[in-house]
Amino acid sequence: MLDPKLLRDNPDKIRKMLEARAVNFPLDQLVETDKERRALIIRTDELRKKRNEISVEVARKKKASEDAAKLIEQMRSISEELSKLEELQTETEQRYTKISLSLPNLIHESVPIGKDESTNREIRGWGKVPIFDFKIRDHLDLTQSLDLVDLERAAKVAGARFYYLKNKLVKLNQSLIQFALDFLSDKNYIPVQTPYLINRSSMEGAIIAQDFEDVIYKIDGEDLYLIGTSEHAVAAMHSDEIIDSKNLPIRYAGVSPCFRKEAGAHGRDQKGIFRVHQFDKVEQFVFSRPEESWDEHERMLSIVEEFYQKIELPYRIMLLSSGDLGKVSAKTYDLEAWMAGQNSYREIVSCSNCIDFQARRLKIRFRDRTDEQPQYLHTLNSTLVATARTMVAIMENFQTKDGHIAVPKILQKYIGANII
């Protein structure tokens, strides 16, 4: 949600953003509805004022045991008119909210303008792409020959894009989670394991309407949705709260499974466990003062880079262009890891500053002193590790000539082995 004042004072700024994102949005309709709703507020406020004045008079007369019948008759007609207007107001308010909830976030000035991923900008790279002196295999091949993943039975039991992890891959999955949590704890992040199902109003705080269709699973007959990432549950943690600024920034290490419908991804990445309906993730989520959020954003990215250097995965950092940017984010870096089996870099991390967009939706504010106007804070989120994709990268990059997988040094003590 954007600052409603922007809608009135500078709609062109919003128009520019929509253009840069190449998004169709009924901006004029929103501006019009905002006008309607404000006019209605003024009219109902006036009527209420009148009613309150008469009500005080009624009370006074009754106390003095005078006749108030005439006034009460007036009250009756005001109340009648008011309830009609209120109905109209509620309807207008709902219409306004519905449209404004689907309005995407503003874009930071450093974001390159461009229509899709082809205009993303490479910021830097790290590590050497491995060179093999044997014929390499992709991760699907490796998981089948080493009996690490059962896709056929998962398809039978749950459907496409599900999987059974088996044997040492189960341990690798746990090791990545454990290492990630230790790593963030050392940096004073607060570990938090979230609810995996949350209600609609919480979900609406973190995502935009279209995502309900494309990514989010709903529990039939309940006001419950499976989280697409712990970000959704952590963001809503402090909804409707005013946070004492001396507690900022609040840095959480969220851990949870992630559930995604992947609607519209038919045919893409069908192989193996790269694009799946369920995976585990450790996530950085930060509540920050507005003036500190851009530094915080860079800090989160540097933490991500340190992590992947420790597990020795070659990567490059991409700055997403306006057309590829998520609707709730003002600026996003992706980390793309080298995947030998696909001979390309693939996205495994997304690091975003959502500025005050989620905070407005969730009413998360802060202040320095208790007599001060509270103001919206900024929220940021970044993957630390999404296990399925990171395991794909590890398997493909660390494969050995004899068809096994070397375990990155830092994970060996967690998994209790140096080869899979």
User: Is 28 an interacting residue with respect to RNA (CB under 7 A)?
Assistant: no
Footprint of RNA on 320-349 (CB under 7 A):
none
User: Is 364 an interacting residue with respect to RNA (CB under 7 A)?
Assistant: no
What b/e string do you get for 138-149 counting C-beta neighbours within 10 Å, with b at 16 or more?
bbbbbbeebebb
User: Is 160 an interacting residue with respect to RNA (CB under 7 A)?
Assistant: no
DSSP SS3 for 18: helix
User: Is 48 an interacting residue with respect to RNA (CB under 7 A)?
Assistant: yes
Q: Is the dihedral of CA 27, 31, 34, 40 positive or negative?
A: negative
Footprint of RNA on 70-109 (CB under 7 A):
72, 75-76, 78-79, 90
Q: Please identify which residue in 25, 31, 38, 101 interacts with RNA, judged by CB under 7 A.
A: 38
Beta-carbon count within 10 A of 102 CB: 15
User: Is 64 an interacting residue with respect to RNA (CB under 7 A)?
Assistant: no
Tell me which stretch binds RNA (CB under 7 A): 122-130, 145-153, 246-254, 365-373.
365-373
- Number of amino acids touching RNA (CB under 7 A): 30
State the DSSP string of 57-76.
HHHHHHHTT---HHHHHHHH
The H or E element containing residue 150 is: strand 149-150
82's tokens: 């008011």
What b/e string do you get for 32-42 counting C-beta neighbours within 10 Å, with b at 16 or more?
ebbebbeebee
User: Is 6 an interacting residue with respect to RNA (CB under 7 A)?
Assistant: no
Compute the least distance from the CB of residue 372 to RNA, in Å. 7
DSSP SS3 for 384: strand
Closer to RNA by CB, 81 or 150: give it: 81
User: Is 410 an interacting residue with respect to RNA (CB under 7 A)?
Assistant: no
- Say how far apart CA 298 and CA 290 lie, in whole Å: 14
User: Is 62 an interacting residue with respect to RNA (CB under 7 A)?
Assistant: yes
C-beta of residue 285 within 8 angstroms of C-beta of residue 378 = no
Closer to RNA by CB, 96 or 398: give it: 96
C-beta of residue 179 within 8 angstroms of C-beta of residue 384 = no
Place of tokens 């060996």: 412
Place of tokens 């991500």: 304
- Say how far apart CA 34 and CA 31 lie, in whole Å: 5
Closer to RNA by CB, 83 or 344: give it: 83
* Share of the chain residues as helix, strand and coil, in percent rounded to the nearest 5: 45, 20, 35
Q: Please identify which residue in 13, 15, 49, 156 interacts with RNA, judged by CB under 7 A.
A: 49
Closer to RNA by CB, 52 or 185: give it: 52
Closer to RNA by CB, 294 or 357: give it: 357
User: Is 31 an interacting residue with respect to RNA (CB under 7 A)?
Assistant: no
C-beta of residue 305 within 8 angstroms of C-beta of residue 317 = yes
Closer to RNA by CB, 88 or 417: give it: 88
Tell me which stretch binds RNA (CB under 7 A): 16-24, 188-196, 346-354, 372-380.
372-380
Q: Please identify which residue in 85, 101, 224, 242 interacts with RNA, judged by CB under 7 A.
A: 242
User: Is 58 an interacting residue with respect to RNA (CB under 7 A)?
Assistant: yes
389 forms beta bridges with none
Q: Please identify which residue in 6, 22, 59, 158 interacts with RNA, judged by CB under 7 A.
A: 59
DSSP SS3 for 98: helix
Residues that bind RNA (CB under 7 A): 4, 38, 41-42, 44-46, 48-49, 51-53, 55-56, 58-59, 62, 72, 75-76, 78-79, 90, 242, 369-374
